[in-house]
Structure 1
Amino acid sequence: MPEHHPPIARLRSLRSVALRTTHCAESAEFYHEVWGLRPVEQEHGATWLRGTGPEHHVLQLQQAAQNALGKIVFSVATPAEVDEAARRLDAHGIALVTEPGKLDQVGGGYGLRFGDPEGRLVELTADVEAVVPDDPDGHPAVPRKLAHVVLNTADIDTVCEFYTRVLGMRVSDWSEHQMAFLRCNSDHHVIAFNQAPFPSVNHVAYEMPSIDHFMRGIGRLRHHGITPLWGPGRHGPGNNTFSYFADPGGLVCEYTSEVEQVVEDAWLCRVWRRTPELSDLWGTAGPPSKDVRTHMAGVPDPGYTAWWYG
C-alpha cells in the first residue's frame, strides 16, 4: 500500500494569476481602462494589476510569443507554512522550481514554486506587501478580487488527484466527468479543470461585489463596443452569475458575482448534467456558441519549462 503523506499546506485563497499573452500592452490597457483593474507596476513588458480588495495584485500580464499560463498563486498564512510545504513536497517526491525564501518580484513576499503534473507553475506565498483596500463594496463597477481560474486539462483525473492529495483542495461539484470544481476556502471554487485535448487556459473570472455591480460592469463594456461572448446568465455549479468576454489577446475573462458559499460539514458534492438548463439557470444566455468554445479551448500550453529555464 502506498505511503500516505498529508497535503503540503492549508491554502487560504487564490491570490493571483499570471498570464502570458501575445498582446500585453493592449491587454493591460483593456484590463485597466475597460475591465476596471488598476495597474500597480509596469516593467520589462509586464504589467501587474489589482482589484479593489486587499491583494497587492490579482493579475500579471507578460508579453510572450503565445498565450499561456504564467503561474497560479495561492496564499498561505506564514513563512513557516511555506517552509513546511517545502518539506512535504519533498515527501511527495515533487521537485521545487524555487526554494523557499524571499521573492524578488513585484509585491515581494516569502514563497516557493513547483510544477503540477501538466507543467503549470504553482506558487505559494505569505507576507506579500499590504495595500489599502479601494472600497471593495463601493459604487464603481469594478472587480474586487480574482474569483477563479478554469484550466483545460488532458487528464482531469490526474490533475484533480494532485490538487486534492497534494494541495489539500476539495472537489465541490462535477459537471458530469467533463469539469471539476475545486475549493480551498468557503468559495464554491477557486479553480476548475475542464477535460480537453490539451492543457491550456480556459478563462479567468473576476468577482464583482454584487449583481448590480456585475450588470453595470457589463454595461460599461457595451459602452466601449464590447459585447459578451456568452452571458449574462447564472451557472448551476457554484450558482454564480457569469458573463464572458475576450481580451485583446484572445484570452477569455469573466465577470461573476454571488459565488455560492460552502459550509464544510454540510456540503455534498453533486454531479450536474451538462444541459443548457443547468449551465444557465436563468435561461438568458443559451448554450455557449462555437465562438466562445473556440476562445475557451485556447492554444496548447507547453508548460513553464518552455520559458522558465530558457
Structure 2
Amino acid sequence: MNQPIARLRRLRSVELRTHAAADSAEFYSEVWGLSVVESGREGAWLRGTGDQHHALQLTQADRNGLGRISFAVSTPAEVDDAARRVAERGILVVQGPGPVDDAGGGYGLRIVDPEGRIIELIADTLAVPALGGDDAVPVGVTHVVLNTVDIDAAVRFYCDVLGMRVSDWSEHQMAFLRCNSDHHSIAFNQAEWASVNHVAYEMPSVDHFMRGIGRLRHHGQLPLWGPGKHGPGDNTFSYFADPAGLVCEYTSGIAQIDEDRWLCRVWRRVPELSDLWGTAGPPSRQVREHMAGIPDPGAFERHDLERAS
C-alpha cells in the first residue's frame, strides 16, 4: 500500500481566481479585516493576524475559480520526498519541487488532483510576526469547502495521497477532512460540478466573530446565511459574498480532535443539526446558488499545464 506523499501540518493559504480582483482586494482589506502585504496589476496577497505571510491570494481572471490550495509541510526535504512519491503514483506535477517564485517565498511542489485543483505543499515560507490587538479581524484561513462531482473519489485522493483523515460525514452529501487537530481544513460537498463552495476565516472567539459581523453590517454587508453554529465541527458560521460573488465565511470555535479518541460520525441533514443555535434558519436559494459557483475545470484548461509540459 502506498504511503501518503507528505504529512500536512496546516492549511496555509488559498488562491482565488476572480473577475473582480481590485474590488475584492478592497473588500477583503477595508471590510473583511485582512491586510494587503503585496499587490500588483494581476492581483493581491492579504494576511490575517496570524503568523502566515498571507492567507488569501486574489488573481485577476476572466472567470471565478480556484487558483490553488496551499498546505504547510515542515522541511524542504519533505517536499522532495513528496515529489518522489508523486512520481511513483503518476500524479501530475505543475511546478517543483524547488524554490517558489511567489509572494511569501518558500520551497514547494504543486500537483493536480483528479478534478483539476492545484494543491501546493510548501516549506520555508517567509516568517512574519503574529499581530496583536483585539480587533475583530481574522487570524487566517481555517478551511475550504469544495464542490465535487464524486465525493468518494475526492475523499479517497485526499486521504490516500495527502494523508488527511475523515472527521465526520453529513449523510453522503458532505465529508469533513482534517490534517491536524482542527475538525476540518477541507470539506467536500457532492454537487453537479467542481467549484469552490466557500473559504472560511478563523475569528479568535465568538465575541470577535459577532463584532466582525457587526462591522460588515455597518458597511452594508448582510449575511447570506447566519449567524449560527454548525453541528459537524461545532463551529460558528456566518456567510457573505465578496464583490465577485465568491462566498467567504467568518467562523470560530472549531472542534479539536483527539486522534486516539475521536469517532467519525454520520450527521443527519436536518435544520436543527445544520444550525445548533436555531438562529440562521435554513440556507436560502440565494446562498445555495452562490456556494454552487460555476463549473471550474481548474488546471486542465489553464496555462499551468503548458508551463509543466
* Both proteins in one fold, TM over 0.5: yes
2:309 matches 1:302? no
Aligned to 1:207: 202
Deviation readout 1:19-52 (Å, 9 max, x if unpaired): 0001100000000000000000002321000000
2:12 to 11, 15, 19: 15
* Cα distance in 2 for residues equivalent to 1:36 and 1:167: 31
Aligned to 1:28: 25
Match of 1:261, SS state, is: coil
| 1:5 and 1:91 in contact (8 A); partners too | no
2:264 matches 1:273? no
Q: Which amino acid counterpart does residue 39 of structure 2 have in structure 1? A: Q
Aligned to 2:185: 190
Deviation readout 1:215-263 (Å, 9 max, x if unpaired): 0000000000111000000000000000000000000000000000000
Deviation readout 1:135-169 (Å, 9 max, x if unpaired): 2xx31000001110000000000010000000000
2:62 matches 1:65? yes
* Cα distance in 2 for residues equivalent to 1:303 and 1:133: 32
What does 1:172-251 correspond to in 2, within 5 Å? 172-251=167-246
Match of 2:67, SS state, is: strand
2:141 matches 1:126? no
* Cα distance in 1 for residues equivalent to 2:126 and 2:120: 16
Root mean square deviation, CA, Å: 0.7
Aligned to 2:88: 91
2:39 matches 1:49? no
Q: Which amino acid counterpart does residue 206 of structure 2 have in structure 1? A: I
* Cα distance in 1 for residues equivalent to 2:300 and 2:48: 30
* Cα distance in 1 for residues equivalent to 2:198 and 2:208: 20
TM-score w.r.t. the length of structure 2 is 0.98
Aligned to 2:104: 107
Aligned to 1:253: 248
Aligned to 1:291: 286
2:36 matches 1:39? yes
TM superposition outliers: structure 1 runs of 4+ over 6 Å: none
* Cα distance in 2 for residues equivalent to 1:214 and 1:247: 18
Count of aligned residue pairs for this structure pair: 305
- Structure 1 regions of 5+ residues with no counterpart? none
Q: Which amino acid counterpart does residue 76 of structure 2 have in structure 1? A: P
Identity among equivalent positions (%) equals 69
Match of 2:142, SS state, is: strand
- Structure 2 regions of 5+ residues with no counterpart? none
Please state how far the C-alpha of 1:92 moved relative to its aligned partner.
Answer: 1.7
* Cα distance in 1 for residues equivalent to 2:180 and 2:72: 11
TM-score w.r.t. the length of structure 1 is 0.97
Q: Which amino acid counterpart does residue 230 of structure 2 have in structure 1? A: H
Aligned to 1:142: 137
Q: Which amino acid counterpart does residue 277 of structure 1 have in structure 2? A: E
| 2:94 and 2:305 in contact (8 A); partners too | no
Match of 1:268, SS state, is: coil
Please state how far the C-alpha of 1:303 moved relative to its aligned partner.
Answer: 1.1
| 1:82 and 1:126 in contact (8 A); partners too | yes
